[in-house]
Amino acid sequence: MKPTLLVGALFTIMTATSAYAQAIKLADVAELSGGGATVGTNWKNGIDLAVEEINAKGGVLGRKLEVTHADSQSNPGVARAQVQKALDGEPYVLLGPGYSGSVKVTAPLAAEAGIAQIMGGEAAELTQQGNKYLFRTSFGQQSSMPKVAKYIHDEMKAKSVAVIWVNNDFGRGGRDVVIKELDRLGSKVVADLSTEAGQADFAADVGKIKAANPDAVFVYLNEEESARILKELKRQGVTVPLMGETTLIGQKVIELAGDAANGARGHVGLTTDAPVDLIKAFREKFSKKYNYVPDHNGLKGYLAVYMVKATTEKMGKVDPKKFADTLHGLTIKAADEPGILMDVTFSDTGDIDRQSFLVEVVEGKQVVKQVLPKVK
């Protein structure tokens, strides 16, 4: 009996190892706890959904995808350590992190290892440092902020604007571009307020906004802080139009801020409320699997995996060294790869060009008011 058992065990180990060798390894490092938990959890769930779908249809070039998740705790230092650990496992592609500050400190590690990094950060500077391995899943601030400033000036007709931003790489990057653009267009910045990440009390900041009496307020904070300031703005009776980016009008913000989010507007690169059939289908699948409506980070994580699939299929082989070269300049059409949801083009710097949306929160729901076309 014993030899049979031994052979059985050996056989099991052999089949397990061969399946392991065949799987394409992806490593994800995301904000699964800490201030960015909303970002990271959506990102992770998006990734898991895409991997499950792709594997159910036979994988990529006949090989299964296998993804590991590590928690950066929303802390750049921890993110760096986790990315190093992930790279030591020699993944095919690195996914994440979502926070720009964490991307900034981890990108050199991935570049050094020659591994492509598909991330969620939106700070302008990330793709301006000549890194050949870094790719966005959403707009960088240099693409989105000019659209925001134009909307504030042309559509909201605001002559004076208060800008409130979070004092980290993400916030500072957006603030720099938007202030420059508002200046150029002729809208005066009457208050330039920095806040801290994780800040709980916004009474004083809203007091300053009230004192500056602007025509519009541009809010550029992370999700939880956005919710807190929306509540405080309502509490102190500020009624001027509020404009922001995805982080002001995301699903999580609406859930946290309740009716204080009504009326807030934002430019959104990705939204699950987009009038696009593939995105509607994605939203349905995601909500069914996780029991909540994803925000744009869920879309970003999902897209990241499909970027891997489309690029690999374009190459016709699994080659981590050639991956980044292939993705540069690549246009992926939703007609060819439905998982990519909308036609997208990647530049030589890893930036993306895609259509985007202008959204307003109406009675607790994101309503797309305008569709802004692809730039090129």
Partner 1 sequence: MSNLFDLLVAGLATGAIYALVAVGFTLLWQTSQTINFAQGEFVMLPAFLMLAAMHVGAPFWLAIILGILLSMILLGLAFKLLLVDPMMRHGVLPLAIATMALAIGIKEAVKQFYSAEASPFPSVVPTGDISILGHAVSLQSIGVLVVAILAVLGLTTLLNRTSLGHQMQAAAQNPTVARIIGVPVERMILLTFLINAFLVALASLLITPIYLAKFSSGEVLGQAAFIAAIVGGFNQVRGAIAGGLLIGVLDNLAAAYVSTQYRAAVPMIFLIAVILFRPQGLLGRAEERTV
Q: Is 32 in the site for partner 1 (CB under 8 A)?
A: yes
Give the pairing type, strands 188-195 and 24-30. unpaired
Selected from 26, 27, 28, 38, the binder of partner 1 by CB under 8 A is 38
Q: State which of positions 202-231 bind partner 1 (CB under 8 A).
A: 203-205, 207-208, 210-211, 224, 227-228, 231
Structure tokens at 201: 């009390």
Q: Is 167 in the site for partner 1 (CB under 8 A)?
A: yes
Residue closer to partner 1, measured from CB, 72 or 141 = 72
Cβ pair 83, 94 in contact under 8 A: yes
Q: Is 263 in the site for partner 1 (CB under 8 A)?
A: no
How far apart are the C-alpha atoms of 324 and 311, rounded to whole Å?
9
How far apart are the C-alpha atoms of 132 and 248, rounded to whole Å?
31
DSSP 150-176: HIIIIIS--SEEEEEEESSHHHHHHHH
Largest CA distance in the chain: 86
How far apart are the C-alpha atoms of 172 and 157, rounded to whole Å?
24
Task: Give the per-residue contact string, 115-154, with partner 1 (x = CB under 8 A; - = no).
Answer: ----------------------------------------
Please give the size of the binding site for partner 1, defined by CB under 8 A.
Answer: 37
Selected from 155, 215, 255, 313, the binder of partner 1 by CB under 8 A is 255
- Backbone φ, ψ for residue 208 (5° rounding): -65, -40
Q: What is the amino acid identity at position 85? A: K
Residue closer to partner 1, measured from CB, 328 or 365 = 365
Instruction: Report in angstroms how near the CB of residue 30 gets to partner 1 at its nearest.
Output: 12
Residues lying near partner 1 in the complex (CB under 8 A): 32-34, 37-38, 41, 167, 193-196, 198-201, 203-205, 207-208, 210-211, 224, 227-228, 231-232, 234-237, 252, 255-258, 260
